[in-house]
Structure 1
Amino acid sequence: MVGEGAVAVALARRVLAEDDARLAAWEGVAGPGVLVLLGASESLPWVDGAVYLGRDADAPSLLLPCAVAPGVAVSLLEHAFLARAEGGAPLAVLPASLHLVSVGAARSVSRTTLVAWLEEGQSGVPPGDTP
């Protein structure tokens, strides 16, 4: 799943409300204005506005939004995205911003790292602002 901007902040806060065992079951990557959380679909939290991602057998290197179908064959989309992607596969496709995020560097979710990301304003929302 992925959150951008204020949704990323809400996702981070929701994740921080979980216990350490749950955090250990997830992996994630974060950057300015974006937070991607990876894990078993049934374990992921509900966050209003978050985009849930899934894999298509015809494009295994992409994590695509579950609620949006591309207008072209996903294998062609995968080929085009991989040709211009930096950071390598797999890639999360973010429909709101039309960005690609490499999730190949995803690591276990760390409470300390997530708190620091929020405090540093990497979420794209000023620290202390409520989404």
Structure 2
Amino acid sequence: MQAAKGEAAIASAKKAYDTYKQIFHSERWQKLADADARPQRLLWASTSSKDPAARDTKYMEALIGPGTVNTTPVETIDAFRDHGIVNDTLEQGLDAAEDTLNQIRHAGIDMQQISRQLEEEAIEKFNQPFKKMLAAIAEKRAG
């Protein structure tokens, strides 16, 4: 299980990317694309390493792939500019990602519950500044 430490997010992202590719390379999608539909891009939000023992560019390097957008703190962008490695990594190591997720499942960790919690927390982090911005706009309009 120690080998899976710090890898759950990357493994989950790789699986999500694999699903994304399956959807947007399907026959069903091709019919939509023929009618000028455009695929959504996957968004990796606020990616940075919180573990001081991990490489500061770990998640940026691991989440590089076509059809994706990565938002990250300025410090991580600066670190990536300085010593980041650019490589199409999302499509690499899918079997290892599956192994990591299996290890996590076998340890009794509910990744769906954790994902729901993280999603709710992330939404709230975006909602707070959005509400603050709307209040500022309303104040400007009133004043």
Which structure has more helix as a fraction of its residues? 2
TM range, smaller chain: 0.3 to 0.5
Q: Which has the higher strand share?
A: 1
TM-score in terms of structure 2 length = 0.30
- Higher Rg of the two aligned structures: 2
